[in-house]
Amino acid sequence: GPRPAWITTDQEGGGVARLSPPLPEQPALGDVLSGLTSGKAIESAALTYARQQAEGLASLGVNLNLAPVVDIDHQVVNPADQFTRISTRALSDDPEVVARAAGAYCQGLAEYDIRCTFKHFPGIGRVFNDTHVERAVLAESPARLRESDWIPFQRLSDADSSPWFMLSHVVLADVDPDQPASTSARVVHGLLRDQWNFDGVLITDDFCMRAIHDAPGGIGQATVDALNAGVDIVLVSYDPDQYYPAMYALLKADEEGRLNDTRLQQSRARVQAAAAD
């Protein structure tokens, strides 16, 4: 039977707004929230912002937005970072503000039947290196991350019946020192699926980024690893031609019996449930 088509874009506002133009430009949501102190004011500003954004996205047929950023702003600035610049995209340095604003933002999108995506798990606000161009490591312990960086992810996933997380390509060293979070069975299946009981949709950050593309086995091996780990959707965005090595690796792995059928069936069920919700 027919499958749902997720029409997706990266429209955060501010410096990351793939559809502006034609859609009107908006300041970064973090800038809009700056100076607001009451919870109600924060939620109201984020809701208004999202409604304005969602009206334009819906008019173009978008039903999944790869936003909001829920990484915490730890004021980490890498002068050589031309792409991630997370300190300019984060909503706040306060996890409580981030959780409130992101929840209201997603409510505004939902009013226009647009899904939101919480990114970039396990959090990249503390990370200096840019995964667009090189390997990067998140060295903080899970205990420390639970006290700050993971607060928005956990609170928002508890409040959403079918949450979406975007997985970053940073290495969560204390959980899996070898694999990026986006391809790691220890992070995806062990931490999120088993420990957190997370049953929402997991989508990766762009697999064209060099932290994936330049790793041993390249995008092909990474795609196989990600789906076997319990990831639901692999994102290939910057260079569409990378779809072909990714799909070739999957077809070969399937032929050789190296794909986890149970995980694939679970992923299919999650994506279908998200479409029906």
CA distances from 104 to 49, 97, 127, 141, 225 (A): 9, 11, 26, 29, 34
What CA dihedral angle connects 223, 228, 230 and 235, to 10 degrees?
10
121 φ, ψ to 5°?
-60, 140
Tokens in use for 109?
């999108």
Q: Among residues 73, 81, 176, 205, which one is catalytic?
A: 205
Active site residue 214: no
Active site residue 74: no
Q: Among residues 74, 120, 132, 169, which one is catalytic?
A: 132
Place of tokens 């208004």: 48
Q: Which residues contact 221 (CB under 8 A, 6 or more apart)?
A: 215, 249
Rounded Cα distance between 26 and 125, Å, is 22
Place of tokens 């088509």: 5
DSSP symbol at 241: G
Rounded Cα distance between 145 and 192, Å, is 14
Write out the H or E segment, with its range, that includes residue 273. helix 261-276
Catalogue the active-site residues: 132, 205
